[in-house]
Structure 1
Amino acid sequence: MLDQAQTLRKLVEQEHDDTRQTRIVTVTSGKGGVGKSNFTLNFALALRRNGLKTLIFDADIGMANIDVLMGRSAAYSVYHLLKREKTVWEIISEGPEDVHFIAGGSGFRDLLDLPQTELDYFEAQIVKLQGHYDIILFDTGAGLSRETVSFIAAAQETIVVTTPEPTSITDAYALIKMVGSMQQDAAFKLVVNRTTDEREGRQTADRISLVARQFLELDIPLLGTIPDDANVMRAVKKQSPFSIAFPASGASKAVAEIARGFLNNGTANAPNTGGIRGFIQRMLKRRG
């Protein structure tokens, strides 16, 4: 009898669709503590509720915690893939509401310095995901580490999560500036978290967008704002996504609206960069 992991692996392998264009999105922030991973998880759930087959790839080197936030444990992580101990199908786990995830691990810290044979294995495994998912969300580390910047610069599009705090705004802009200098056609979108009201969120986004347009010649649209909501921390303590634990909360409604806007308006503006194969090849090309 197949165990749960084997059953999931078999289902994922069977659900390949040659016509499916897998969309690669990185979610990042200029600094830690702004709610990036919590947003990623609940955004993934919202996308799944809109009918999209969604995978979260936890690429946060220092604070990999997607599995903790959803109260699920993973038998294997990306570490086992990088060490060539497991295939990509074997490290995929099932989260709530049929959102799939790949748990992070310290192995990412060495990703860009791996021998070519191991990089080739990593690339060959990851590109197998093409056509199996509609969207893959890479939850990157916060800040300007070499690995994080490489992920973002290679991505099809990037969602930058910030808050109205001055340090968060400054760090978000610094991240955008660095990546923009590496990738001329970088496609950024902003999410402003923990706002007192929508007006504060829009003002925060306007500050970043105005400077980016003036000095970087980048157009950075606002994807949406999320109110400061005590239910978010309650859900973290319960190890349950807030959109499941508190579906009627302000934060849950805001993320659902962000997902709808992303799907309605984002596809036309997303650059065609070769799906996951193009993403991995660009990322590994930047090493060193």
Structure 2
Amino acid sequence: MSDQAQGLRNLIRHQNAERNQSTRIITVTSGKGGVGKSNFTLNFALALQNRGFKVLIFDADIGLANIDVLMGISPKYNLYHLLKREKSIWEIVQTGHNGIQFIAGGSGFNDLIRLSEEQLDYFAEQVDQLNGHVDFILFDTGAGLSKETLKFIVAAQETIVVTTPEPTSITDAYAIIKMVNSMQHPVDFRLVVNRITDWREGRQTADKISMVARQFLQLEIPTLGFVYDDSNVIKAVKRQVPFSVAFPNSAASKSIGELADGFIANGPQVQSSSGSVKSFLSKMMKLMK
């Protein structure tokens, strides 16, 4: 297992070197709330970290930021303190379970969309310091079609869409893919189907979205994987401990581990520097001005 993990680490670092970047920016989003997006983000980040990578979660869910709640942590500082120049980027980086690093959004993202050009430049300068510090930055965005969520998706260009087998979740997942596609920015989408009862249900759900996207958008949506419905997830949420930490041998935890292995092995679909911190920030600044 250790040899396999080392091989995966070498692979991703080789991919990063080829793209002349050391940090990959990934947004995680969903068409609607309640599909387990933040829970997925947290445990996916932990799975990547368990495989030897440095990961930072940026809680970008405006108004409903809850990565800290899932870990039972009350962060001392958040994005607000950075934007007010009260703290540096390094001072607002918090540490959670198993040493996972995260930045709490708090009310900061409401201020972010109203910053002056000078303040935006300061924000970009601070966040750019994270480049090379970690292998991955995962932005846990808000659910749905808010302008803020769309900006994060378009800027990052590498996005994981989380859905469930419920018809409304499938419809809303497709809606967000369609909206981003209409903005005419190339985005590397990958699909995760959460809370499946069996593999067939997951496959059918993913195929529905992929087929419609291919037919009407001429867009290929690869499937990253499935996460099984697991009563241990709710137990972990109540205990405010990530389910992959509280129940490492549960069906959901094993699913997340397989997803992480597949994600690392396959690499990004967009072979360029488009996912780098510098490129991400540049696009974010243009979209916000």
Q: Does 2:245 correspond to 1:244?
A: yes
| Distance (Å, rounded) in 2 between the aligned partners of 1:280 and 1:240 | 32
- Could you list the runs of 5+ residues in structure 1 that have no partner in the other structure? 1-17
Matched with 1:110 is 111
| Paired residue total | 272
Query: Is the CA contact 1:77–1:91 (under 8 Å) kept in the aligned structure 2?
Result: yes
1:277–1:269 CA distance, 2 compared to 1 (3 A): closer
After TM superposition, which residue ranges in structure 1, 4 or more long, deviate above 3 angstroms? 267-271
Which runs of no fewer than 5 residues in structure 2 stay unpaired? 1-16
Q: CA deviation at 1:167?
A: 0.7
1:277 alignment partner in structure 2: 278
The alignment partner of 2:273 has SS state of coil
Distance in 2, Cα, partners of 1:87 & 1:160: 31
* Secondary structure, aligned partner of 2:288: coil
Residue in structure 2 matched with residue 63 of structure 1 by the alignment: 64
Distance 2:271 2:159 in 1: 10
**Correspondence 1:183-202 to 2 at 5 A:** 183-202=184-203
Contact 1:190/1:222, CA 8 A, preserved across alignment: yes
Distance 2:271 2:192 in 1: 17
Q: What TM-score, normalized by structure 1, do the two folds share?
A: 0.91
Aligned pairs for 1:1-288 within 5 A: 21-267=22-268, 269=270, 271-273=272-274, 275-287=276-288
1:211-244 Cα distance to aligned partner (Å, 9 max, x none)? 1111112111110111111100000000000001
CA deviation after TM superposition for structure 1 residue 162, in Å? 0.3
TM-score when normalising by structure 2:
0.90
Amino acid at match of 1:70: M
Cα distance in 1 between the residues matched to 2:186 and 2:236: 37
Structure 1 residue 269: deviation in Å?
4.7
Name the CA shift for 1:94/1:270 in 2 (closer, same or farther; >3 Å).
farther
2:217 maps to a residue whose letter is L
| 1:271 CA drift (Å) | 4.1
Deviations along 1:218-276, one digit per CA (max 9) or x if unpaired, are 11111011111110000000000000101111000000000000000124655421610
CA distance in 2, matches of 1:195, 1:141: 22
Give 1:83 deviation, angstroms. 1.8
Q: For 2:64 and 2:197, how far apart are their aligned partners in 1?
A: 27
Separation in 1 of the partners of 2:48 and 2:139? 14
Contact 2:154–2:185, Cα closer than 8 Å, also in 1: no
SS of residue matched to 1:126? helix
Change in 2 beyond 3 A, CA 1:283/1:184: same
The answer on whether the counterparts of 2:273 and 2:279 sit within 8 Å (CA) in structure 1 is no
Identity of aligned residues (%): 65
> Quick one: distance in 1 between partners of 2:26 and 2:226?
18
Q: Which amino acid aligns with 1:22?
A: T
Equivalent position SS for 1:237: helix
Give the letter for the 1:111 counterpart: L
CA contact (8 A) 1:235 1:245 kept: yes
